[in-house]
Structure 1
Amino acid sequence: MENEWRGILYPTRLPTLHRIPAPPHVSGLVRWFWIPEWNIADGLVSRQELLPFAASNLVVEAGSVALVGPPTGPSFRELTGQGWAVGALLRPAAMPHFLTKPSTIRDTQMNIDAPDLCDAISAEMTAPREAQTNRSRAVAAYSAWIVNNITLPTPAGIQANTMADLIDADPSLIYVEHIAKQLHVSVRTVQRIAEKYFGLSPLTLIRRRRLQTAAETLRTQPSTAVAAIAADLGYADHAHLTNEFRDTLDSTPSSYRRGHEPRTTQNSGQHPTSR
């Protein structure tokens, strides 16, 4: 799918991560499902590093369901042994079902009491059949649970989804005023939408998309100059991108580009905590 590895800082360490588009009947509530599976040799650890999407995730693992809150910066998880997860990158319209203030779980998570979802996904992911079939059936079971448990988006939720789509798709939107103009609302309304449905500020949403795109371009287009990337993404100059990149990822764009290959000390294993 488009932007398969966006947000994943070292995708070559994730050979079996799958992002599966949400079926149409739940696409107003879920952007996509992500399914990693890992099997790491004894004594080894795989560190997965992410610049997550500015959204929350509902994550099912063996024995648990958790709502992972909106991230304010990069994240990582160190994996050992064998395991799997099935996560749903939630659309903004889904958040009021879980919380009135998503900001209360920024950079953390809360357990969700959904044993029926946990049991259904676990049964599909551990069934003795071909892995692709397991993943497809897990997504179908997850989608069915969403239909039965989360109400359809309200008009306000649809507006929040539209705002997310605008920020994600249009690199010319670099100020909150630009978003307000596109939505035909006030800046204050944009701020209220962000608070209620994202738990992050509008400016954080813009910065996350720009940095994700910058990292993806640095990885996939090694001949493109950093100054050209900065110009394409609306930064004032090369220095502004470099400073924001360093402040967020503790690395310059050039050093990130040089160091994006897999580390030889790590075995293959995958499970980004969000998507």
Structure 2
Amino acid sequence: MGDLGRGVLYPREQGAVANVERRTPGEALAPFVESYWHVQWRTEEPFETKVLSHPNVHLVFEEPVPLVYGVDRRLFVRRLEGRGQVLGVKFRPGGFRSFAPGPVIELADRRIPAADLFGPEVDDVNRAVLRRSDTDAMVGPAEEFLLRHLPDPDPVAGEVAAMVDAITTDPALFRVGQAAEALHVSVRTLQRLFAEYVGASPKWVLRRARLHEAAARADQGVPVDWANLADDLGYSDQSHLIRDFTATVGVSPAKYARA
């Protein structure tokens, strides 16, 4: 089993049915693409995979047609049955803007046939990718396809990616106003850039990073001091953390940790 990655809920259960491998893009695509991910699964009984999504757009080669997944601001759930595989292209935050016809926020919470954005050629690439089962062999035609559609680099996209990285890795940033001040932009500018390039608001990105950390702590298999964790994550109190976690994941953090 490969590392399922931060944000994947119930990783032990999911790791029993799914294997994940990742690859880095070539130099030309690196400004746009964060990674490729290949998931293969085999399960006797239907299994629902659940993920606290990140602020990334994905192009996924899958049956019956490839799809573009906007940032899923809710809980991402996918039902796995029998045997199967998909290959995903995880774009950097802001990296999909040059491929999109409009602001990336228009893709939020949506799954769109890739042909609507890339043209019918992508369906042929989908078949070529899924005929293979080796990760590197699958990445080959996907990367060749993206290189044929490579837009000019957008320097603002790179700046926005750096902004996302800064506010999701700085444990001292809890509020949009704090983030804007740290990034030397106005709150309104930050909100506008995130709608145009990321596909989610700065408030959502900050909140989701806190939920990722809460789930990661719960997955460690050791008792968690939820009051201290709430304080560490900038919640007003333990009850605030519990409400936020439960509203998104569907169960309280304590119940999730016991699962």
TM-score by length of 2: 0.87
Amino acid at match of 1:73: R
The equivalent of 1:97 in structure 2 is 99
Structure 2: distance between partners of 1:8 and 1:152? 33
Residue 246, structure 1, aligned to residue 251, structure 2 = no
Give the superposition deviation at 1:46: 1.2
Find the residue that maps to 2:78 and give its secondary structure. strand
Structure 2: distance between partners of 1:3 and 1:244? 26
Amino acid at match of 1:90: F
Q: Which runs of 5 or more residues in structure 1 are unaligned?
A: 260-275
Structure 2: distance between partners of 1:176 and 1:3? 31
Greater Cα offset, 211-220 or 94-103: 94-103
Partners of 1:93 and 1:158 within 8 A in 2:
yes
Aligned positions, number: 251
Residue 171, structure 1, aligned to residue 171, structure 2 = yes
For each residue in 1:218-272, what CA deviation from the matched residue of structure 2 results, as whole angstroms up to 9, or x when unmatched? 102523322232232222332221121112122111101001xxxxxxxxxxxxx
Higher strand share: 2
Find the residue that maps to 1:17 and give its secondary structure. strand
For each residue in 1:143-163, what CA deviation from the matched residue of structure 2 results, as whole angstroms up to 9, or x when unmatched? 232222131431211111111
Find the residue that maps to 1:16 and give its secondary structure. strand
- Cα distance change of structure 1 residues 36 and 211 upon mapping to structure 2, 3 Å threshold: same
Structure 1: distance between partners of 2:63 and 2:120? 11
The equivalent of 1:21 in structure 2 is 24
Give the superposition deviation at 1:121: 5.1
Structure 1: distance between partners of 2:230 and 2:3? 19
- Cα distance change of structure 1 residues 32 and 210 upon mapping to structure 2, 3 Å threshold: same
The sequence identity of aligned pairs, in percent, is: 27
For each residue in 1:147-181, what CA deviation from the matched residue of structure 2 results, as whole angstroms up to 9, or x when unmatched? 22131431211111111211222222211122222
Q: Which has the higher contact order (CA 8 A, sep 6+)?
A: 1
TM-score by length of 1: 0.82
Structure 2: distance between partners of 1:185 and 1:218? 34
Partners of 2:105 and 2:197 within 8 A in 1:
no
Q: 1:34 aligns with which of 37, 46, 50?
A: 37
Partners of 1:28 and 1:152 within 8 A in 2:
no
Greater Cα offset, 157-166 or 145-154: 145-154
- Cα distance change of structure 1 residues 125 and 112 upon mapping to structure 2, 3 Å threshold: closer
The equivalent of 1:256 in structure 2 is 256
The equivalent of 2:113 in structure 1 is 111
The equivalent of 1:212 in structure 2 is 212
Structure 2: distance between partners of 1:144 and 1:234? 44
For each residue in 1:53-108, what CA deviation from the matched residue of structure 2 results, as whole angstroms up to 9, or x when unmatched? 12221111144221111212102111223221111122213224223122333222
Find the residue that maps to 1:77 and give its secondary structure. strand
Structure 1: distance between partners of 2:220 and 2:208? 18
The equivalent of 1:54 in structure 2 is 55
Partners of 1:61 and 1:118 within 8 A in 2:
no
Amino acid at match of 1:108: R
Give the superposition deviation at 1:204: 0.5
Amino acid at match of 1:244: D
Greater Cα offset, 86-95 or 231-240: 231-240
Partners of 2:62 and 2:130 within 8 A in 1:
no
How do 1:173-252 residues align onto structure 2 when only pairs under 5 Å count?
Answer: 173-220=173-220, 222-252=222-252
The equivalent of 1:263 in structure 2 is none
Give the superposition deviation at 1:120: 3.8
The equivalent of 2:66 in structure 1 is 65
Partners of 1:28 and 1:161 within 8 A in 2:
no
Residue 123, structure 1, aligned to residue 128, structure 2 = yes
Give the superposition deviation at 1:124: 4.5
